Amino acid sequence: MSGKRKRTPTIKSKTTTVLPTTAPNFPDIMLGTYRMKDMKVLNTVMNECLPVCRGLDTAAAYCNHGLIGKVGGTEEHWVQTKLWRSVKSKDVVKKIRKDLKELKIKRLDCWLLHWPGPGRHLNFPPVTRTDIEVVGARDEGEESLVYEVDDVRARNKDDNDDDDYDDYDDNGGTELLVTKVMNENPSRVVKCPENWSPQTRLEVWSEMSKCVDLGLTRYLGACNFTLTQLRAVVEHCRANNLHKPAVLQNEFHPYIKWDQELFDYCKDEGIRFQGHSCLGGGAAGGKVLLENRVVGEIAKGLCVTAADVLFRYAHKKIGNVIVKSVRVERVLGAVEELRNPDWDIGAEDMRRLEGLAEGVELVNFDDGVCLFSWLREFSPSRYD
């Protein structure tokens, strides 16, 4: 993995020139690095798979920038990372410079705002695993104790002065949906400012836009945003002559039913929709997408794997996917089948896959059906 990639000139004019948001060199398949924090694994996966995927997706919350930088060889490939939500607007430029130093590159191809909401009670690094019916957690030594909804409500009512418990939200949900059992440093909890508001998100975006003009990133993007939140950012950019999002990266698979209006809006605004967690994103009410009967029947009929069906489904629907595994053969196999012209999912089977969300009992919000990753904040729509 050698050679240098040609880069566009740095913008030096005092007046912001808003770049087109189509990101013409955007790879349709990228290598994901979530939870990859082993040097040996990263070295093997990056060297074997990155030339095939031609793009690398990471995030500050993944805590692997330094390892990726040590592996190297990313200069000739698309590299994108994400800004964590706890970063204040005054620290944005400093943070991207830190990311570049750790990644050992001079400029990002895309920098995404990782989450739309404040996440006041979520842990870093990184945000950890949640369960559909588990809504609270407390650490005692190395053991993580989790409580059911009614138990959390009762304990919070009786222990209002105990900082180890997060407050119950009387509006019908909980502020905390995270356990710390998987954190490397579970005692460290970083809370976002209590005076957070939707305007805070726009102030951060304004500073991110400056990073394009400084030549620190080519494009900007949003991750895990609803239509309402994405539209607010775009309108803010338009009103203030800022760089618009070029990419929206959201969880995407048959168990999530995004409103068509979101896709139409992205198309109209020239925003690429990129799917993460295309294999299911976790358990949906105990239902594992890879073991779904319909997915299995389609895979058997096409003589491919269930994973191949789900990646092809996402690629046909949105055109851009992230493939991630610590096993090289799985990544290479997925990419090979995505590019294999000898098979495809027919219209009827696409409709069968599209209908899977109807039979899954998940949390429904205004902008679609939310699954595993969305439950970490209960509902991003609460922070519109």
Instruction: Report yes or no: 276 and 250 within 8 Å, Cβ to Cβ.
Output: yes
Please enumerate in sequence order all residues whose Cβ is within 8 A of that of 347, keeping only pairs 6 or more positions apart, or say none: none
281 φψ region: left (φ > 0), alpha (ψ -120 to 50), beta (else) = left
CA distance 255 to 282: 10
Summarize pLDDT for 185-235 with one digit per residue, the tens: 444 444 445 567 788 899 999 999 999 999 999 999 999 888 888 999 999
pLDDT at 264: 94
Q: Per the domain annotation, does 9 fall within a domain? A: no
CA distance 27 to 31: 10
pLDDT (mean) for 255-262: 85
CA distance 243 to 218: 10
Q: How many domains does the chain have?
A: 2
Summarize pLDDT for 21-31 with one digit per residue, the tens: 567 789 999 99
CA distance 135 to 378: 9
Domain finish residue from 188, 220, 237: 188
Q: Per the domain annotation, does 287 fall within a domain? A: yes
Q: Domain range for residue 146?
A: 126-188
Give yes or no for a cis peptide into 118 (omega within 30° of 0).
no
Top mean pLDDT of 2-11, 101-110, 259-268 is at 101-110
Q: Parallel, antiparallel, or unpaired for β 78-83 and 55-57?
A: parallel
Q: Per the domain annotation, does 19 fall within a domain? A: no
The owner of tokens 């209908």 is 355
CA distance 138 to 178: 10
pLDDT at 193: 54
Q: What are the residues facing 223 on neighbouring strands? A: 249
Q: Are residues 146 and 264 in the same domain?
A: no
Cα-only R_g, the chain: 21
Summarize pLDDT for 138-148 with one digit per residue, the tens: 333 333 333 23
CA distance 43 to 67: 8
- Number of neighbouring beta carbons within 10 Å of residue 179: 22
pLDDT at 88: 87
Instruction: Report yes or no: 287 and 360 within 8 Å, Cβ to Cβ.
Output: yes
Q: Are residues 111 and 159 in the same domain?
A: no
Q: Per the domain annotation, does 8 fall within a domain? A: no
CATH code, 284: 3.20.20.100
Q: Are residues 264 and 310 in the same domain?
A: yes
CA distance 368 to 256: 7
Q: Are residues 65 and 140 in the same domain?
A: no
Q: Per the domain annotation, does 295 fall within a domain? A: yes
Q: Please provide the average confidence, as pLDDT, over all residues in the chain.
A: 75
Summarize pLDDT for 324-381 with one digit per residue, the tens: 999 999 999 999 999 999 999 999 999 999 998 876 654 444 434 444 444 444 344 4
Summarize pLDDT for 355-366 with one digit per residue, the tens: 988 766 544 444
Amino acid residing at 298: I
Q: Are residues 293 and 375 in the same domain?
A: yes
User: End-to-end distance of the chain based on CA atoms, in angstroms?
Assistant: 43
Q: Are residues 102 and 235 in the same domain?
A: yes
